[in-house]
Amino acid sequence: MNDEEMMSTLRRLYARLDPVPPNVVHDASRALETRRLDEQLAELQLDTAEEFAQVRGDQEQVRLLSFQRGEVSLEVQLEYQDDLVTVRGLVEGLSGTAELDLGEERRRLPVDTDGMFTAEVPRGAARFRLAAPGGVAVITQWVLV
Amino acid sequence: MEFRSLLAAAGGGDQAAWDAIVNEFSTLLWSIARSFRLDARDASDVVQITWLRLVENLNRIEEPDALPAWLVVTVRRECMQLIRRANRQQLTRHVEVLDDMPDPAPPVDHALLTDERDAALWRKVAELGETCFRVLRVLMATPPPSYKDAALALDMPVGSLGPTRQRCLRRLRELLTGKEGGAER
């Protein structure tokens, strides 16, 4: 077998034994429904899982994310316990409602008077939506939590 | 494939245009995720976040011809971040994997592996070192990626991809015939 024949054999083998699972294609197709045109995107400014990964050898279970859009900021603390993630958020620069978008599921997050909320979610893709009544709506970029 | 019109249509909510993009790149993204030896659950997560990111950026991609490169780099970064986070968090399900690296061949329904030669190939590919496993797993995507996109997925210079592929296939042949050569990365 020359190299090309070998690659073809491997390609056929893996297409049969390790194909893209149908649910992955299905979810990809449905991802278009998450399009939001009328909301401002808050970008991820900080992810401690990235910042300190190289220099800290500890087994820190808490991860901090920070999003910002103009005056609005969202600080999120993620605590991992097996497959569950405890989310604690602090909203500043906007008072209103918060929602957690998990792709297939959306959850309303009760925000207290200090701008804080908590939730427990499964690991996976997530983003937050913050909205002031009748006013500005900010949505964070997607992150894997 | 004409990405400019597909991206524009998908950005306007055209599901058929979006599905055309998804169908074109799904196996490449899956192959890249699996080239990092992520399990099915983690591979699904990184592929999904890549698509979600693309939706988020549909109207921001300035160079539509660079769509394959954008997807490939995004999924590679997500894979590396997930591995880094997992290493840090020492999650139980990852510890199992880390304990017996290199990861053995993913479990597979044995009925699918009746052909002895296929079974040997499946096992030996999994025994390859990190670089060779990644290179071959990415190049095995259907349709085969361009060398340019594969090099981005592997974060290696495009000029070294051909020689690396050749070396890795030689190594695979040695494993198959039991003639173990020198050290391999």
pLDDT: which is higher, B162 or B185: B162
Taking CA–CA distances from A50, the nearest residue in chain B reads: B81
Same-domain pairing of A99 and A51: yes
pTM of the model: 0.86
The distance of Cα B167 from the centroid of its chain, to the nearest Å, equals 19
Taking CA–CA distances from B135, the nearest residue in chain A reads: A7
Lookup: tokens for B13: 């909510």
| pLDDT value, residue B62 | 82
| pLDDT value, residue B127 | 93
Same-domain pairing of A42 and A99: yes
Residues of A in contact with B44 (CB under 8 A): 21, 23-24, 27
Report percent pLDDT > 70 for chain A.
92
Same-domain pairing of A69 and A125: yes
Range of the domain at A16: 1-35
* Residues listed for chain B: 185
Taking CA–CA distances from B86, the nearest residue in chain A reads: A49
Residues of B in contact with A13 (CB under 8 A): 118, 121-122
Same-domain pairing of A29 and A43: no
Same-domain pairing of A8 and A72: no
| pLDDT value, residue B99 | 45
Query: What count of Cα atoms within 13 Å lies in the side-chain half-sphere of residue B140?
Result: 30
Mean pLDDT of B96-115: 56
Question: What is the C-alpha to C-alpha distance for residues B185 and B183, in angstroms, rounded to an integer?
Answer: 7
Note the pLDDT tens digit of each residue in A98-136: 999 998 889 999 999 999 999 999 999 999 999 988 888
Same-domain pairing of A8 and A78: no
Query: What count of Cα atoms within 13 Å lies in the side-chain half-sphere of residue B6?
Result: 20
In a domain, B17, yes or no: yes
Mean pLDDT of B41-50: 96
Question: Which among B51, B112, B139 has the least Cβ separation from residue A17?
Answer: B112
Q: How far is B138 from chain A (nearest CA, A)?
A: 10
Number of domains in chain B: 1
Nearest to B47 by CA among A83, A24, A144: A24
The distance of Cα A67 from the centroid of its chain, to the nearest Å, equals 12
Does A125 contact B at CB distance below 8 Å?
A: yes
Nearest to B75 by CA among B94, B51, B91, B104: B51
Nearest to A123 by CA among A62, A77, A78, A74: A78
Other beta carbons within 10 Å of B70? 18
| pLDDT value, residue A27 | 95
In a domain, B183, yes or no: no
Same-domain pairing of A23 and A92: no
Counting one residue from chain A and one from chain B, the pairs whose CB atoms sit within 8 A come to 135
Question: Which among B18, B49, B93 has the least Cβ separation from residue A125?
Answer: B49
Handedness of CA B41, B47, B48, B49 (dihedral sign): positive
Q: In this structure, what CATH number is given to the domain that contains residue A51?
A: 2.60.40.10
In a domain, B185, yes or no: no
In a domain, B24, yes or no: yes
Mean pLDDT of B129-151: 95
Mean pLDDT of A14-30: 95
Other beta carbons within 10 Å of A94? 22
Mean pLDDT of B134-140: 97
pLDDT: which is higher, A59 or B31: B31
The answer to whether A77 and A60 are in contact (CB under 8 A) is no
pLDDT: which is higher, B9 or B104: B9
Same-domain pairing of A22 and A64: no
In a domain, B182, yes or no: no
Range of the domain at B173: 3-177
Does A62 contact B at CB distance below 8 Å?
A: no
Note the pLDDT tens digit of each residue in B87-98: 776 644 444 444
Mean pLDDT of B53-69: 90
Number of domains in chain A: 2
Q: What is the dihedral of CA B38, B44, B45, B51, to 10 degrees?
A: 130
**pLDDT at A54 exceeding the cut of 60:** no
The answer to whether A34 and A126 are in contact (CB under 8 A) is no
The answer to whether A94 and A136 are in contact (CB under 8 A) is yes
Nearest to B87 by CA among A53, A29, A15: A53
Same-domain pairing of A130 and A102: yes
Same-domain pairing of A93 and A55: yes
Same-domain pairing of A30 and A94: no
Same-domain pairing of A13 and A45: no
Environment class of residue A91 by beta-carbon count within 10 Å: exposed (0-12), middle (13-18) or buried (19+)?
buried
Residues of B in contact with A103 (CB under 8 A): 48, 52
| pLDDT value, residue A81 | 84
Question: What is the C-alpha to C-alpha distance for residues A71 and A89, in angstroms, rounded to an integer?
Answer: 16
